[in-house]
């Protein structure tokens, strides 16, 4: 059953900002003037190079504009085509790379306003993630508070590669605000480029950068667990988006193993890390990098130890599959249904509050 089920919840789609000009009507007069005067260019980054095959499927790549640059394209190419019930929009625009935190906050406000006006207002199936100006914890909290009452925003969004490990305590006001408002923290592949994209230095090729995202995810997950974020905020959920999934059991086994002997260093981690992961962490399953046969994939799911961890996502318009094969065929029908309905609803509680 490669095609999504009618009414499925797609946990990762990417509306493209057509260009800086399209944000201008949604910026404050001050920031619109600053950007106009300075000629700040479009914030495309090497996280998703515009011409890379991964960035957009060839049949979703129009010549005249960016892919997924308006709601009509998204309707034709995914929502109407698959009968999608809900799609969660994660805007990837390079606001996280700026060093001026005031500008970053101004642009994030504009970006989130653009998402609300140009997307969420225009299709009742769409939900959004609040893009945070991660350069500043205070301004990130401001951004959460600004949008928290709009229940169509179901998550906050950060990139996996930032300034410091995400578990570090100076970040905690973000988690407090997210937990207070019932917003999972979505951590998407991508970097602010404050550090090399791997732990050993810069790589030469995009292939390496993209694949090595999983190392950043591993580091961030260990940081969140070891620093005690989930002990401090027991209601917090974290969603790893476009992270790949097959690294998870191996990495958390590793953490479990060494936690047994080093527990006293992080005594607030009062149970095996894999238990914490199963209670607090979810992963979108596009791309799916697991074993290639249904039997082997079933063994992998046994290693995951729960059928609640994976969320269906198309990752539209990124090129992860062809045609309508959005649900990888190694996934059993039972799990596929859970990933498309039960698991997203359990993860994004706000979906219940905005049933249309």
> Using the rule CB under 8 A, is 263 a contact of another protein?
yes
Residue 198 burial (CB count, 10 A): 15
What residues form DSSP beta bridges with 185?
Answer: 156, 238
Q: Choose, by CB under 8 A, the member of 58, 204, 260, 292 that binds another protein.
A: 260
Between 211 and 266, whose beta carbon lies closer to another protein? 266
Selected range binding another protein among 122-130, 216-224, 254-262, 323-331, rule: CB under 8 A: 254-262
What x-and-dash track marks residues 123-162 binding another protein by CB under 8 A?
Answer: ----------------------------------------
**Which CB sits closer to another protein, 64 or 264?**
264
Of the two residues 59 and 270, which places its CB atom closer to another protein in the complex?
A: 270
> Among 8, 20, 27, 19, which Cα is nearest to 65's?
19
**Nearest to 50, CA basis, from 21, 19, 78:** 19
Which tokens in the block code for residue 285? 């399953």
Q: Which is nearer to another protein, 260 or 355 (CB)?
A: 260
* Stretch of 13-21, 126-134, 245-253, 265-273 lying at the interface with another protein (CB under 8 A): 265-273
Strand partners, 127: 88
Contacting another protein within 175-234 (CB under 8 A): 227-229, 231-232
For 297, the token pair is 């994939």
**Which residues fall within 8 angstroms of residue 139, CB to CB, at 6 or more apart?**
101, 104, 105, 108, 133
Residue of the chain from 264, 292, 334, 352 that contacts another protein (CB under 8 A): 264
Q: How far is CA 207 from CA 210, 235, 338, in A?
A: 5, 36, 31
Residues that bind another protein (CB under 8 A): 169, 227-229, 231-232, 259-264, 267-268, 270, 272
């Amino acid at each position: 059953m490669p095609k999504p089920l009618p009414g499925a919840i797609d946990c990762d789609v990417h509306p493209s900002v057509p260009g800086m000009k399209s944000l201008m009507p949604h910026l404050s007069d001050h920031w619109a003037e600053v950007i106009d005067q300075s000629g700040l260019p479009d914030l495309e980054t090497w996280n998703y190079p515009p011409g890379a095959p991964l960035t957009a499927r060839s049949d979703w790549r129009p010549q005249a504009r960016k892919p997924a640059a308006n709601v009509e394209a998204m309707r034709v190419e995914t929502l109407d085509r698959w009968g999608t019930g809900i799609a969660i929009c994660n805007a990837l625009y390079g606001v996280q790379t700026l060093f001026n935190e005031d500008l970053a906050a101004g642009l994030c406000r504009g970006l989130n306003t653009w998402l609300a006006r140009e997307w969420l207002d225009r299709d009742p199936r769409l939900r959004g993630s609040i893009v945070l100006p991660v350069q500043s914890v205070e301004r990130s909290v401001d951004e959460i508070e600004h949008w928290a009452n709009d229940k169509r925003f179901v998550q906050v969004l950060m990139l996996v590669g930032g300034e410091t490990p995400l578990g570090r305590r100076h970040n905690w006001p973000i988690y407090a605000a997210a937990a207070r408002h019932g917003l999972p923290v979505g951590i998407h592949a991508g970097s602010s480029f404050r550090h090399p994209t791997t732990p050993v230095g810069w790589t030469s090729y995009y292939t390496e950068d993209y694949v090595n995202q999983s190392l950043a995810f591993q580091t961030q997950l260990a940081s969140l667990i070891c620093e005690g974020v989930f002990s401090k905020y027991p209601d917090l959920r974290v969603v790893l988006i476009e992270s790949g999934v097959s690294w998870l059991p191996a990495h958390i086994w590793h953490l479990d193993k060494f936690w047994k002997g080093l527990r006293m260093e992080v005594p607030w981690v009062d149970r095996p890390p894999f238990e914490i992961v199963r209670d607090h962490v979810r992963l979108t399953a596009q791309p799916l990098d697991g074993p290639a046969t249904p039997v082997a994939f079933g063994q992998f799911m046994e290693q995951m130890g729960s059928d609640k961890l994976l969320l269906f996502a198309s990752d539209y318009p990124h090129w992860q599959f062809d045609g309508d094969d959005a649900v990888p065929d190694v996934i059993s029908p039972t799990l596929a249904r859970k990933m498309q309905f039960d698991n997203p609803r359990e993860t994004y509680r706000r979906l219940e509050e905005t049933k249309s």
